[in-house]
A and B are shown apart, each in its own frame.
Chain A
């Protein structure tokens, strides 16, 4: 199993550009989540999904969209990038809920918005 994969590893955007961060898992996990990691702060939940076709907002959803058309994929879209979205983004998946089952994290995408 490849586990949780994320692409790209690094990305630089200009303010106002859009892009999609890809996340895929091959463990048949129902739960998938997107977090952002900022210096001096813990991971903050952006959006999550409890299964294909179902998504919900986390702690910091503004400026981000997600969809879950398949169990395997959970892309994160930035519609109009802003410097405040400069961060490291992690995708995670788990068989059960985030708080009741082990989460497996991808390697992260480091995004810089100029």
Chain B
């Protein structure tokens, strides 16, 4: 299909790791992105990975890319209540367009 797919909800306890998964569609996507949307705010770029990479780590964030399966994941270590937000996966396509997933709502319980 042509949809970027994500689970809609994820709930974790504070201090645990969160893993948000995404399946994208275009095997020729150059960049894959993770955006974060806090309540009442616009999307903010969290991190991205270039298609020739398998993994990217940035402090508590780890992005894994499996190009064979077109699977992207975002791991948040030591999840905090401030990480509660909606996380959007996005891919590039047609060289100059982006396609977003529906977003995963992460709830962090104390």
Tell me the A residues contacting B by CB distance below 8 Å: 4, 40-45, 90, 92, 97-100, 102-103, 105-108
Interface string of B84-100 (1 = CB under 8 A from A): 00001010111111111
Task: Kindly provide the distance from the CB of B6 to the nearest chain A CB, expressed in whole angstroms.
Answer: 9
- Are A43 and B40 closer than 8 Å at their CB atoms? no
Tell me the B residues contacting A by CB distance below 8 Å: 3-4, 8, 30-31, 40-45, 88, 90, 92-103
Which of B31, B45, B98 has the most A CB atoms < 10 Å from its CB?
A: B98
- Smallest Cβ-Cβ distance to B35: which chain A residue: A105
Task: Kindly provide the distance from the CB of B9 to the nearest chain A CB, expressed in whole angstroms.
Answer: 11
**In the complex, A42 Cα to B42 Cα: how many Å?**
13
- Are A107 and B40 closer than 8 Å at their CB atoms? yes
Task: Kindly provide the distance from the CB of B38 to the nearest chain A CB, expressed in whole angstroms.
Answer: 10
Give the chain B neighbours of A102 by CB distance below 8 A. Answer: 45
